[in-house]
Chains A and B, each alone.
Chain A
Amino acid sequence: VVSSKALRDRRASSSSLIVERRRQIVTRVLDGVTTEFDLQRLCEICADVADVGGAGILLMSDHAPRRSAPTTNSVTALINELQVGFDEGPGADAHRFGRDVLEPDLDALPSGRWSAFQGPARDAGVRAVFGFPVRVGAVRLGALSLHSDRAGQLSDDQRINASVIASLAAQAILCLEANLPPAELAGELLVSAAHQMAVHQAAGMIAVQLDVSVGQALVHMRAHAFAHRRTLIDVAQEVVDGRLRFDDARVGTRLLAPLFGA
C-alpha cells in the first residue's frame, strides 16, 4: 500500500533534486557569464555536463522559419540541419510531442522512423541521439539535441542535467529576445524566477493586454523589468495585483519584434 505521505515525500525528493541540480548547473553556467553569454556557450556547457559528443539548440517558433541556433561542432551542426530540413530527429520530435526523446541506438530504429535523418546522421558517425523540449509552460521555443558516437542510453545524471539545461536554455532565449545583457540573465537564473507562479500569470495577462502571444509577453516583461531596473518577479507581482498594466501608455514599453525576429 502506498501512503499519500510516501507519495509526497517522493515528489519532494524529486523536486529538491531538480532544484539542487539546477543550482549546481547555474553556478557552472554563471562562471562563463562574466562578459559573454549566448546559446553557443550554453551548448558547450551542456555537452560538457551531459557528457556527450555534442549539443545543439533548435529554435522552432511558430512565428518564424525553423532554424538551427548554436552548436558545439560540425556534427552537431549537421544534426541540426537535418532536423530543420526534414523535420525529423530527436529535437524535432521533442518539440512536436513535448517530451524527452531518447534513441540510444540509431541502428535499431523501427523501420520508417526518421528515414531521411537516419542515413546522413549515421554516415557522420552518430550512434545515439536525444532530444529535450525547450519550453516555458505553453510556450514552445524549440528543442535541445544531444548526440553521441557510441550507442547507449543516457544515465540518470545525464538525463537530469540535459533537462535542466533545456530549461535554462528557455530562459536564455527569452532574455536574448529581450536584448538583455548577460548580467541580467545571470540575475534571473540566480533568483530562480523560472517556476514562479506570478511570472506565468502575469505573462498570460500581458498577452491579453498587448494582444500578443504568451511567449512575446514573457519577452516584454523582461524588457520592461530591465528598462525600469526592477526584478522580473517584482514586475510580475505588480501585474498580477493590477498595479501595472502593459496597455497603459505610461508604461512606454518599446514594442519588440516577435519571437525570433520574424
Chain B
Amino acid sequence: MTGLFDDDAAELIALRDEVALLIAAALRANAAQLAEAERVEHHHADQIADMEIALTHRDLIGQAKGVIMATMNCSSDEAFDLLVKQSQHENRKLIVIATEIADRADRRNRPRAPDTSA
C-alpha cells in the first residue's frame, strides 16, 4: 500500500480533528483500564470508525486541492497552503472549507432546484 500515508504534512493537519478524537479515545482507554474487555472492544470499533472518517477526510482534502490547483494554476503544496490560510482567516475547520470547495464545482453544475416560491 504505497502512497496511503505519503504527503505527511497535509495529512498531519488534515487529521487534526481525528488525532484529537484519538487522544480523547486514548485518554478514555487509560481511565478505563479496569473496565471489562467488552468495553475495550467497543472502543476499538469506534477507533476503526474514526480511521474510516480520517481516510474520507484525506480524500476530500485531495479533491479540494485539485480544484484549487486547476483554478489557481498552482502546485499541490501551494493549494494546501491556501486551504490552511483560508481556514485560519475564516476561523473554520480546514475540512469544512475543503468540503465547500470540492462541492462548489458540484453546485455550479447542478440543475436548479424547482422554484417553490410561486
A interface residues, Cβ below 8 angstroms from B? 2, 6-7, 10-11, 14-15, 17-19, 62-63, 99-100, 135-139, 156, 159-160, 163, 167, 192, 195-209, 211-217, 240, 262
By a CB distance below 8 angstroms, the chain B residues around A211 are 105, 108-109
Name B69's closest neighbour in chain A (CB-CB).
A205
Sampled A-B contacts (7; CB under 8 Å)? A7-B26, A138-B64, A139-B102, A195-B59, A198-B3, A200-B60, A215-B106
Is there an interface contact between A14 and B51, defined as CB atoms closer than 8 Å?
yes
Q: Are A208 and B71 in contact (CB under 8 A)?
A: yes
Contacts A10-B26, A214-B106; A19 near B53 (Cβ below 8 A):
no
Query: How near does chain A come to B83, taking the closest CB pair, in angstroms?
Result: 12
- Whole-angstrom distance from the CB of A256 to the nearest CB of chain B? 13
CB distance from A7 to the nearest CB of B (A): 6
Which chain B residues (57-115) contact chain A, with CB distance < 8 Å?
A: 58-71, 76, 98-99, 102-103, 105-106, 108-111
* A197 near B70: Cβ-Cβ < 8 Å: no
Q: Is the CB of B109 within 8 A of A204?
A: no
Q: Count B-side interface residues using an 8 Å CB cutoff.
A: 52
Say yes or no: is B30 at the interface (Cβ < 8 Å to chain A). yes
CA of A199 to CA of B47, assembled, Å: 26
Q: Which residue of A lies closest to B53 (CB)?
A: A99
A196 touches B106 (CB 8 A): no
- In the complex the two chains form, is B30's CB within 8 Å of A197's CB? no
Closest to A99 in B: B53
Q: What's the nearest-Cβ distance from chain A to residue B21, in Å?
A: 11
- CA A87 to CA B70, docked complex, whole Å: 36
Q: 11 more A-B contacts (CB under 8 A) besides A99-B49, A207-B63?
A: A6-B26, A7-B19, A14-B50, A18-B51, A156-B48, A160-B48, A195-B55, A200-B60, A200-B62, A207-B66, A212-B109
Q: What is the minimal beta-carbon distance from B69 to any residue of chain A, in angstroms?
A: 6
CB contacts (< 8 Å) of A206 on chain B: these are: 66, 70
Kindly name the residue among B47, B50, B106, B111 whose own CB sees the greatest number of chain A CB atoms within 10 A: B106
CB of B65 within 8 A of CB of A7, answer no
The answer on a CB contact under 8 Å between A204 and B26 is no
- Complex interface residues of chain B between 26 and 46 (CB less than 8 A to chain A): 26-27, 30, 41-42, 44-45
